[in-house]
Structure 1
Amino acid sequence: MAESHCEHGHHHEKNENHHHEHGGHHHDEHDHHHHDGQMHMHPVVKNLRVAFIINLSFSIIEFIGGALTNSVAILSDAVHDLGDAVVIGISLWMEKFSQKGRSMNYSYGYKRFSTLAAFITSVVLLVGSAIIIFESVPRFFHPEEVHAGGMFALAIVGIIFNGLAILRLRKGDSLNQRAVMLHMMEDVLGWIAVLIGSVVIYYTEWYWIDPLMSLGIAAFILVNATKNIFGVFRIFLQSVPQQVDEHRIISRLTGIDQVKGVHDIHIWSMDGNYNVLTAHIVVDKHARVDELNEIKNQAVQILKEQNIQHPTVQIEFQSGACEFERC
């Protein structure tokens, strides 16, 4: 959804171009454009549901298989896959929930719910990986016998299950689906490692390889979960999104004819993908009303090109005073 508007107080106008003068300030309200991705809502939900069922079912099989084979590597993958199942389940729920759109109380919609869910999921994964490490370290120094044949069979099934989920998700163009598909690809690589490890254990009886693989998987989970948590903190603290270059935006805006400056610029992200910007654009005091509209249109186009999905710009004349000028 690409949308741009300028607001004054609590006044909002929809579906029309509108501007007015007030105390030397020029405010604009632009059209609301809805993202074409809504047309793909049903296929997205269907694909995510299939991936969720596959992942949840197999994570249960993994926990049982890990216990039967006495393999902490299998149990580590089970924790990882269960975490992925939770992520997919949340993505599925959010995909359906997002159809509600925004409301009076939630003017940006419900995008932050997915960010909160990502934080909760990451914390759960951190706890799970800590438990895995706690169990694996003693077994690395005092290896226990594992059932290599069972590990091999589970690895084959794991590659097949995750492969089916990838084939299902690769048909979609939703960012949600692509993110989940990357999770599935990571899982396949993990199962390939378990497959190779089980073959080595079968022929060498080097049982320490099992806890070593488990520690590797746990480390992978720790690193990624920690990255996710820091990413969530950045979003909740409303830092400038990493994919947005504020200096370039200011440079491009001040390059518009008759624009004399930009101040009180704020950029943040709702969920890591949907970025919001508010800014005051100062124009020449002799600019005509029809020129202001062209300046507005150019500014909106520049902001769209700079990965801003929801811009709000306030036009001010150079001679007018602004209480936020030093912000």
Structure 2
Amino acid sequence: MRMAHARDDHGHEHTHDRRRLAFALALAVGTAVVEVVGGVVSGSLALIADAGHVMTDASALGLALAVTFVARRAHTRRLTFGYHRAEVIVASANGLLLFALTGVVAWHALERLRHPTEVDGGTLLLVAVAGLLSNAIALRLLHGSDSVNVRAARLHVWADLGGSVAAVGAGVIVATTGWARADPLLSLVIVVLVAAGAARLLRDTIDILMEGVPRGVDLLAVERDLRTLPGVIAVHDIHCWTVSSGFVVFAAHVEIVPGVDVLDTVAQGVTLLRERHGFDHVALHPEAASLHEPGAPVDLRWQPPPGSSHRGA
């Protein structure tokens, strides 16, 4: 029996992801420094707390950046798919971290509702606007990648952006009305949005770790297409899963009747699966149809079709 394989090179995509993450990390660290200074000058605990939030997200961005280098390592005899799954593991950890952060922010918001603190609304607004612009730039840099690792980093930046929006809104209200409870109320709204995004991220990473069929893949349609190949009468042992973002694997056994050019059928199948269904790595295992006939003699030797130039081993 023979196996047909196909793989795509993801190095170019990883290079873009590294650049995006590096710029976003630099912006996050700069934003945190500005917010700490602004918090000390204005006496705003909200800004200092948000700076801590941003630094936590900066740590997540640093991990996401590190994993893009780890994922480049070549496969080994033990890790036959290489280190691609490191991306998914880190994305899962980031999703859990986001849930923890939303809990902390919610707790502080409730505390500030009960015990509001006075701050310099003008300074709060100025620093919050600077943070908003910084996060908006970082979000734009991370836009457009399908990587779950970059998606996780993008969610962290969304959380920071939400915090900046809440801080801007709170700054405007505090500066114009003096109502200090505006900030914690807006923070609770952002907590709900970030938690929903974290839930979606964890759902996707758990699907990958459980080796579920990727969203958008119709296995019934794939099986129907394989049955149209010359000599194929049945398809079974179908498996389809995601190794990492943009790296989908498909494997199946195809039963082929005698007298058909097996190599040509398998080659057609690989091309069909790559071009029509977008699979990155394909493994088709041809089998003699007689193997599945009860009581029939089994001959696994491949016989070339009449007139074929192929020779059996």
Instruction: Compute the TM-score of the two structures, normalised by the length of structure 1.
Output: 0.76
Aligned position for 1:317:
288
Q: State whether structure 2 residue 272 is matched by structure 1 residue 297.
A: no
Structure 1 residues 43, 124: closer, same or farther in 2, change over 3 A? Answer: closer
Structure 1 residues 225, 217: closer, same or farther in 2, change over 3 A? Answer: same
Q: Matches of residues 146-185 of structure 1 in structure 2 within 5 Å? A: 146-166=119-139, 175-176=146-147, 179=151, 180=153, 184=157
Aligned position for 2:308:
none
Partners of 2:232 and 2:219 lie apart in 1 by 17
Aligned position for 2:301:
none
Query: Structure 2 residue aligned with 1:117, among 76, 82, 90?
Result: 90
Partners of 1:87 and 1:53 lie apart in 2 by 12
Q: State whether structure 2 residue 189 is matched by structure 1 residue 219.
A: no
- How far residue 210 of structure 1 moved from its aligned partner, in angstroms, is 0.6
Aligned length: 290
Structure 1 residues 151, 302: closer, same or farther in 2, change over 3 A? Answer: farther
Cα-to-partner distance string for 1:171-208 (whole Å, 9 max, x where unaligned): xx754597456764664465344323321221122221
Q: State whether structure 2 residue 12 is matched by structure 1 residue 29.
A: no
- How far residue 274 of structure 1 moved from its aligned partner, in angstroms, is 1.6
Cα-to-partner distance string for 1:207-261 (whole Å, 9 max, x where unaligned): 2111011212222232222322232222222221223222221122223232212
Q: Matches of residues 50-69 of structure 1 in structure 2 within 5 Å? A: 50-62=23-35, 65=38, 69=43
Q: Give the residue type in structure 2 aligned to 1:310.
A: H
Structure 1 residues 142, 190: closer, same or farther in 2, change over 3 A? Answer: closer
Q: State whether structure 2 residue 44 is matched by structure 1 residue 70.
A: yes
Unaligned residue ranges in structure 2 (runs of 5+): 295-313
Unaligned residue ranges in structure 1 (runs of 5+): 1-25
Partners of 1:40 and 1:229 lie apart in 2 by 22
Aligned position for 1:10:
none
Structure 1 residues 97, 245: closer, same or farther in 2, change over 3 A? Answer: same
Identical-residue share of aligned pairs (%):
22
Aligned position for 1:288:
260
Structure 1 residues 33, 266: closer, same or farther in 2, change over 3 A? Answer: closer
- How far residue 152 of structure 1 moved from its aligned partner, in angstroms, is 0.8
Instruction: Answer yes or no: is the 8 Å Cα contact 1:143–1:208 preserved in 2.
Output: yes
Structure 1 residues 205, 127: closer, same or farther in 2, change over 3 A? Answer: same
TM-align CA RMSD: 3.1
Identify the range of structure 1 (159-168 vs 206-215) with the bigger mean alpha-carbon deviation.
159-168
Partners of 1:39 and 1:232 lie apart in 2 by 23
Q: Matches of residues 80-91 of structure 1 in structure 2 within 5 Å? A: 81-91=54-64
Aligned position for 1:307:
278
Aligned position for 2:107:
134
Partners of 1:73 and 1:261 lie apart in 2 by 64
Aligned position for 1:107:
80
Instruction: Answer yes or no: is the 8 Å Cα contact 2:21–2:142 preserved in 1.
Output: yes
Aligned position for 1:247:
220
